[in-house]
Structure 1
Amino acid sequence: MPSSDNLLWEAVSGISRFAALLTMAELGVADQLADGPLDAEELAARCGAHTPALRRVLRELESIGVVRAAGAGRYELTGEGAALRSDAPGSIRSGLRMLGEESFWYAMGKLPETVRHGKSAFIAKYGELYDHLAGNPEISRIFDDYMTTRAEVFTSGLVARHDFTGVGTMVDVAGGKGSILATVLRANPGMRGILFDLDHVVGHAGELFAAEGLADRCETVAGSFFDSVPAGGDVYLLASVLHNWGQDDAVRILRNVRAAMNPGGRVLVLEVVLPDDAEPHLGKDLDLRMLAIFNGGSERSRREYAELFAQADLELREVTELGAGASLLQATARSS
């Protein structure tokens, strides 16, 4: 078993490895190597990079195992490295670019300041996340790509593990560009959908629904879930929504959903659920990002979600693991 000193130094070294992976993602190295090995000079020319500097990064990337030497000074992708290609299923490229984007990098670097004062240093510098994204289209595009890719694994689990039989209408609350809703509708031909999000978010969702042949089964509605959500849904989906908000705000969102849903309706919350043990877990990593970027946002345990639902007159019925660290929590109106 590694000593505590080794574990600590592994964590310290992680920042250099992340920076190398970020460089690979930003420069599109994996895309350039997709068709076969290249030497550092040719790779640098294709990526618009400085050859000696790129060689040093490639040396680190080789040690991580995402590229390997292919003779005559050339490098090729490994199976692990292929996950950084833009066209790879579940590509990690957009996630690296998002986490390495200047404002997100700042947020994590300033975590000590956030912990010292109990307020997000990110917000103090850049403002609320979604306002920041709205004012920076390029960052917003990277964020949307990241969220879409991240949702792919969760969505396949949702479709495979949850029974939508009998559902007439599903409302995807804060559903972004509609990728999750489109996947659920394709798998359930008799269902209709409503995509609900802020105006600047849902503006282009119609293009996706048209391309997927779903335009006649899905409508988009713009608004704020703090005011209300579209009424008449049999199922309301909140995917990676509640963890952005503190207790009072999350309860307010759920109360609006509770008021809007049909009798016998249910609420599906797709989130990472924190375990009760001390073992490493994706949710604990994500929770520090929530701490860094939001004032009040957090990952929650099963017990905390049950309490959250109860405050909104809902009752947690079931928790289903979907894979990749995500879980689906199902709630219905509380019994009288």
Structure 2
Amino acid sequence: MVLSEFNPSTVQSPLDMEEWIHAYQVSRCIYVIAKLGIADLLKDGSQHCDALAAATNTHSDTLYRVLRFLAGIGIFAETQPRCFKLTPLADCLQSNVPGSVRSTAILRGEEYYHKPWENLMYSVQTGESAFQHLYSMDLFEYLEKNSVARELFHDHAFMSKEVSAPYVEAYDFSLIGKLVDIGGGTGQLLAAILKANPTMTGVLFDLPKVIDQAKNLCELASVNHRCQLIGGSFFEAIPEGGDAYLLREVVHLWDDERAISILKRCYQAMREQGRLLLIEKVIPPGNEYSFSKLVDIHMLVMCSGGRERTEGEFQNLFESAGFKLTKIIPINEDCIIEGVKIDIN
């Protein structure tokens, strides 16, 4: 069952419920195969499990049993006894392909990511982050101390150019002279926006270590002459003078108090009649299934105060920071949420 196509009316029997109960086991199988790089080994065609096992230092029969199960749900296909090839669903488990989710599959299976979920009961009972409880630090402190985990997290978090395209197409950025991307990672989204709008200039703002990684990307995107890179913390100060400030999946990491603090800094830094653009998930009302509702629990478990929000909750954030919410544009599971600066004096 695919979550994005989930229809509650089709899930009615105990057998349907059992599929959900066993879902974590499917995830573990995908994690193992992604970690081993099996999809990369199959990029040139079908291979026998003996060859795959030799290349990955694993047990051939056990590897076969895992691949046989995954083939049964469309991830890989058994072409002849114990030989497997990629399927369209397995393609995205390769490392360097458009839309790759390999890093996400690995990240979700690493102990520091799945163990907090095993402690969801703690979060439900206390309202506090299970990650903070287990590791005595927040997720970002942990990533700062663990370079391998940090690199994997960045691979998962930062969008490729292909993933950036829907956002570039959905919003009219042509009216913006200077766009400041707050917490923009290594700049994929900003670079895509600048390439599509040749008269625009941009500022990429993130932690200094992240900005160092972004320099080559902006050069590759041929926008380095229009893209200023600045390192810093948005809890201290952000670049001034932008016509619009863009924050992608930043606000959902924080509780209302800290989120409003970030947005107020944007208010203070931007020009008069400036615009605020958030890319976030918006939780719909009622019983409708939405991936945002699951991500909301993930934020509870992983981040101290993190949460997804409803349209009304975003409106409250905007008003508290000096903005009027003017537009919400749905894009797949995300939305571009637009606000305009108002005079609060």
Deviation at 1:150, TM superposition (A): 7.3
Q: 1:241 aligns with which of 240, 250, 255?
A: 250
Q: Which piece of structure 1 moves more, 283-292 or 220-229? A: 220-229
Give the Cα–Cα distance (whole angstroms) in 2 for the partners of residues 275 and 208 of structure 1: 36
| Conservation of the 8 A alpha-carbon contact between 1:319 and 1:329 | yes
Deviation at 1:152, TM superposition (A): 4.8
Give the Cα–Cα distance (whole angstroms) in 2 for the partners of residues 221 and 171 of structure 1: 10
**1:253-268, aligned counterparts within 5 Å?**
253-268=262-277
**1:74-223, aligned counterparts within 5 Å?**
74-126=83-135, 127-149=137-159, 152-153=162-163, 155-223=164-232
**One-letter code of the match for 2:46?**
P
Q: 2:59 aligns with which of 34, 44, 50?
A: 50
- 1:333 equivalent in structure 2: 341
Deviation at 1:268, TM superposition (A): 0.4
| Conservation of the 8 A alpha-carbon contact between 2:129 and 2:305 | no
Q: TM-score, normalised by structure 1?
A: 0.95
Aligned residues: percent identity? Answer: 34
Give the Cα–Cα distance (whole angstroms) in 1 for the partners of residues 81 and 120 of structure 2: 44
Equivalenced residue count is 334
- 2:6 equivalent in structure 1: none
Which SS does the other structure have where 1:91 is aligned? Answer: coil
| Conservation of the 8 A alpha-carbon contact between 1:269 and 1:328 | yes
Would you identify which runs of 4 or more consecutive aligned residues in structure 1 move more than 4 Å?
none
Q: Which runs of 5+ in 1 are unaligned?
A: none
Structure 1 residues 214, 13: CA separation in 2 closer, same or farther (over 3 Å shift)? same
Deviation at 1:218, TM superposition (A): 1.1
Deviation at 1:34, TM superposition (A): 1.1
| Conservation of the 8 A alpha-carbon contact between 2:282 and 2:334 | yes
| Conservation of the 8 A alpha-carbon contact between 1:228 and 1:257 | no
Give the Cα–Cα distance (whole angstroms) in 2 for the partners of residues 253 and 335 of structure 1: 18
RMSD between aligned residues: 1.5
Give the Cα–Cα distance (whole angstroms) in 2 for the partners of residues 152 and 174 of structure 1: 20
Q: 2:288 aligns with which of 271, 279, 287?
A: 279
Structure 1 residues 18, 150: CA separation in 2 closer, same or farther (over 3 Å shift)? farther
Deviation at 1:27, TM superposition (A): 0.6
Q: TM-score, normalised by structure 2?
A: 0.93
Q: Which piece of structure 1 moves more, 82-91 or 25-34? A: 82-91
Q: 2:40 aligns with which of 31, 37, 41?
A: 31
